[in-house]
Amino acid sequence: MSKLTTLTFVAAMTVLPMTKTLAAESLSETFAASTQSSELEIGYTDLDDFLALTVLDVGRSNREKAPRPSGNTGTRMKKRINRLTALEGNRVYFDNFDNAKYVEALYAIQESLEALPQEVSLSQFNSNEQLAYWLNLYNFTLLKEIAQDYPKVDIGKEFSKEKKSDFFNDEVLNIEGKSLSLNDIKYDIVLNKYKGREEVIYGFFGGVIGAPSIQTHAFRGKDIWRQLEKAAADFVNSNRGTYYEGRISVLYDRYSDFFDGNQEAVKDHLLSYLDDEVYSDIANTPAEDLDMDIKDFSAATIGDDRVYAAGVSFNNAALIDSARVEQRGGDIAGPIATQNFVAEGMISKAKLNVRFTADELELLQGINKQYQVTNGQVTIKDLKEKEATGKESKDEN
């Protein structure tokens, strides 16, 4: 099916009288609609550029513990670390948040993501494209909120009390007229819309080592489940996710609603991804006896508290160089200057016209002309392909 045909179907969404106001709807109801026949794709090249400068990819866990701090080992460590998890999880160079150009680029990207639904309603995308959007919006808003208060914000403390934290509960976003918090996205919209697909929990970066890693590329609708399954495998097969004697992450307790509160479902989920020697320990532990006690709420960053030790695979040379740059006075050179240059490019790229092709933009303009209605007077009905075409779809989602 061509994009032209698909977008024509999107424009034909049914307009029905309102039976209740948007204010009375839950967030999950407000954002429930999608157009499964839509082939519209959102572009995220600017996000990829930013992540390339931001994320230190440490590679998959080898289950090694960090060595004990010692004055004669040559290893520089924080005085108090979680040795079980200290060498794991991708890192973000938070000290970049002292760089005005870098933060300006981050704000431009986040604001562009937030503004996108004002131009193209999310209901015009299929559910996979929507999920990629929500995860990217969440992660970049989290980074923006950290940058906004850096270095005052203690992300570890905030994440430890996430459901009661002002940081995660403050309404810092406005999407299609709805004020949203980070927790609204995770625990209302995504939880309800993607119930039964537990892999979605691995798409949320928490800013701490003990949470799923921030990825090196933006999420994309066409690849979303492959990306999430890889993130799940990386987390489950790490000391942050599972360990010997039936120990698992505290996050599986926090995210219990994603598993319908069923610990047997948690165990089955873990076994479906475990592929190392910990498998037998989890398999031989009754679900009710799994010990959800692994946690590391240290900030997932590098800098003054970075850990250099054997077994860590540093894959992003540009980020390592930036981490080693000393900023003294007004002297900024090398990788930091490169970051300034790239940041300016990212600011110009964080526009709607790079999220869609020229053909898609032209079609969207036509769609929006037909789609413009008085706010609050219509309900968008989710059209499946067979409803829009009168034919049965080969791929029912």
Joined tokens for residue 86? 């200290």
Lowest-pLDDT choice from 227-231, 251-255, 337-341 = 337-341
Domain count, the chain: 1
> Is there a domain that residue 172 lies in?
yes
Q: Confidence band (pLDDT; 50, 70, 90) for 313?
A: very low
Joined tokens for residue 63? 């289950």
Q: What's the rounded mean pLDDT across residues 258-262?
A: 95
- The pTM (predicted TM-score) of the whole model is 0.76
> Is there a domain that residue 278 lies in?
no
Q: What is d(CA 373, CA 352) in angstroms, rounded to the nearest whole number?
A: 22
Joined tokens for residue 209? 């080592």
- What are 329-361's pLDDT values in tens digits? 333 333 333 344 445 555 555 555 556 666 556
Contact 86, 79 (CB under 8 A): no
Contact 369, 7 (CB under 8 A): no
| Residue 321 pLDDT > 50 | no
SS3 262: coil
Q: How many helices (H) and strands (E) in the chain?
A: 17, 9
Q: What's the rounded mean pLDDT across residues 200-212?
A: 97
How many residues are listed for the chain in this entry? 397
Half-sphere exposure (Cβ direction) of 324: Cα atoms closer than 13 Å:
8
> Is there a domain that residue 99 lies in?
yes
Nearest to 49 by CA among 344, 371, 394: 344
Q: What is d(CA 250, CA 293) in angstroms, rounded to the nearest whole number?
A: 5
Contact 247, 88 (CB under 8 A): no
Q: Quick one: which H or E segment has residue 347?
A: helix 335-349
Mean confidence (pLDDT) of the chain: 77
Residue 16 backbone dihedrals phi, psi, to 5 degrees: -120, 155
> Is there a domain that residue 95 lies in?
yes
Q: What is d(CA 37, CA 395) in angstroms, rounded to the nearest whole number?
A: 10
Q: Confidence band (pLDDT; 50, 70, 90) for 315?
A: very low
> Is there a domain that residue 364 lies in?
no
Q: What are the Cα distances from residue 35, in Å, to 7, 14, 98, 384?
A: 10, 11, 42, 6
Joined tokens for residue 37? 């026949």
> Is there a domain that residue 11 lies in?
no
Q: What's the rounded mean pLDDT across residues 31-54?
A: 92
> Is there a domain that residue 319 lies in?
yes
Strand partners, 371: none
Q: What's the rounded mean pLDDT across residues 173-193?
A: 96
Residue 355, phi-psi category: left (phi > 0), alpha (psi -120 to 50), beta (remainder) = alpha
Task: State the residue range of the domain holding 85.
Answer: 22-194+204-221+297-353
Contact 309, 66 (CB under 8 A): yes
Q: Confidence band (pLDDT; 50, 70, 90) for 71?
A: low
pLDDT at 350: 59
Nearest to 60 by CA among 209, 236, 234, 180: 234
Q: What is d(CA 180, CA 170) in angstroms, rounded to the nearest whole number?
A: 8
Q: What is d(CA 376, CA 120) in angstroms, rounded to the nearest whole number?
A: 17
Nearest to 133 by CA among 55, 212, 189: 189
Strand partners, 247: 243, 291
Strand ranges across the sheet with 291-294: 242-243, 247-249, 291-294
Half-sphere exposure (Cβ direction) of 112: Cα atoms closer than 13 Å:
24
> Is there a domain that residue 156 lies in?
yes
| Residue 253 pLDDT > 60 | yes
Residue 380 backbone dihedrals phi, psi, to 5 degrees: -90, 120
Instruction: Report which DSSP code applies to 65.
Output: P
| Residue 294 pLDDT > 70 | yes
Lowest-pLDDT choice from 97-101, 132-136, 144-148, 167-171 = 97-101
